[in-house]
Amino acid sequence: MNKVFASMVVLLIVSCSKKEVAPPAPLSPVPSEAQMAWHEMELTSFVHFTINTFTGLEWGMGSESPSLFKPDQLDAEQWVSVLKETGFNSLILTCKHHDGFCLWPSQYTEHSIKNSPYKNGKGDLVREVSEACKKYGLKFGIYLSPWDRNHAEYGGPPYITYYRDQLKELFTNYGPVYEMWFDGANGGTGYYGGTNQKRNIDGKTYYDWPNTLSLVKSMEPNIIFFSDAGPGVRWVGNERGIAGETNWNSITPDTLYAGKAGIEKLLGTGAENGTAWIPAEVDVSIRPGWFYHAEEDSLVKSPEQLFEIYLSSVGRGSTLLLNIPPDKRGLFHENDVASLRGFKQLLEQEFTTNLAANVTVTASSYRGDAEIYSARQVVDDNKKTYWSTDDGVTSGQLELNLVSPQKIKYVVLQEYIRSGQRVKSFYVEAWVNNAWQKIAEGTTIGYKRILRVAPVETSGVRLVINEAKASPMITTIALY
């Protein structure tokens, strides 16, 4: 047999013995590509800045004079470079908050930056921030408050036209935009063109959301819409930085609508059998307020507090949207910057070396005995590969053997959510004193679950999945 022929025979034998085993069928609902990209960002930021920064209010009345808006050292690149340095992947700007003041020179109102002292009315903060984001590689998002306490026609149909015209301005001039934040807040009272009234609207019907959303989609097809009810991502139900310990990315949209009372808990947990993929976004401010107030300079969340928030948001399968409000100068305050840097340091310190990287792993079983679904896929640092089981096998375990005993503080688990969220109940054990000892347990895993465990010295760790909606698909087990 000549050499070439021999190697062809070997190749033939190898390819015949290699099984083609189909992956588990996707379990509906599944995320869109844009939602997947949103999950993978993990750390995102919010910037609340407007006339409130100068008046000390959280909700401006709408009667404030544009002359009050006068940051004298504003540097959007300072904001964005600090965010970049500290691990944030996007920035959502309050282009217009409830008081109606616009940070860009909108042609549809006089209540904007064009009538402010900032750059003698020639400034355009939406431009400056979106360009700084491009320069530093952050995605840019838009917050445009539906409630507008300045606009004379708020409450009637002309305001809806105004709101849509502004969306057209923003989406055609400042894109690409990855996320659009629709705030459900409405307190009724306002200046409303000098009438100083209380105007209640029906949050369910007034804004005619379906048509507004399709307008935005026609300009930015991959946009993620945030609102209480999604449809891209949902509110987590609180502003404290805490996602549900049980956190399903699925929820049934018609159980929700902006402003509906009593749904906070449901928003935090999602619903196991929800019909749509609408993951929870965790919005929280680094300060007590959303806007800058000098009296809160000593109340900036510490690096340790931010780390706890990280564990209860990203660590529970959500994305963190952390607000950092620039001060009156137009800069991130020194205290906020120091906290962000400390937070970044803590992340690096706590998650330095993955002790599970490429260790030996065995599984109770794996799909079709095919290597591509075998246990080692959970430690290969490849988010496209995963361990999975045969159809109908909805429990199982994975055992990691560490070469020598290691001290473990965190267990990080990830599901292959592209094919749907599956795990309903699991626990983790460590091999201590010649026996398995439970060190953590939980319900959902989702995109990422970080379990902080009482520090333990161990040479083996196992993940036991008690129950899943369908064959579990685990892409990562990491230990720190």
* Measured distance CA(94)–CA(126) in Å, rounded: 9
**Contact between 283 and ligand FUL (CB under 6 A)?**
yes
Shortest approach of ligand FUL to residue 347 CB, angstroms?
24
Which CB sits closer to ligand FUL, 83 or 379?
83
**Contact between 188 and ligand FUL (CB under 6 A)?**
no
List 162, 192, 290, 416, residue binding ligand FUL (CB under 6 A): 290
**Contact between 220 and ligand FUL (CB under 6 A)?**
no
Which CB sits closer to ligand FUL, 199 or 341?
199
List 185, 215, 294, 357, residue binding ligand FUL (CB under 6 A): 185
Helix 76-85 vs helix 125-136: crossing angle, to nearest 10? 30
Helix 157-173 vs helix 125-136: crossing angle, to nearest 10? 40
Shortest approach of ligand FUL to residue 453 CB, angstroms?
33
Sorted by sequence, the CB contacts under 8 Å of residue 349 that are 6+ apart come out as none
Which CB sits closer to ligand FUL, 226 or 410?
226
- Lookup: tokens for 287: 């300060």
Which CB sits closer to ligand FUL, 232 or 420?
232
Place of tokens 């021999």: 6
* Measured distance CA(389)–CA(374) in Å, rounded: 9
* Measured distance CA(23)–CA(368) in Å, rounded: 10
Place of tokens 């109102």: 109
CB 281, CB 238: distance < 8 Å: no
Which residue of this chain has its Cβ atom nearest to ligand FUL in the complex? 185
Give the number of residues in contact with ligand FUL, rule: CB under 6 A: 5
Q: Distance of CA 128 to CAs 123, 394, 403, Å?
A: 8, 51, 52
Which CB sits closer to ligand FUL, 58 or 245?
58
| 233 strand-pairing partners | 226
Handedness of CA 238, 239, 244, 249 (dihedral sign): positive
Shortest approach of ligand FUL to residue 109 CB, angstroms?
19
List 42, 183, 336, 415, residue binding ligand FUL (CB under 6 A): 183
Q: Which residues contribute to the site for ligand FUL (CB under 6 A)?
A: 58, 183, 185, 283, 290
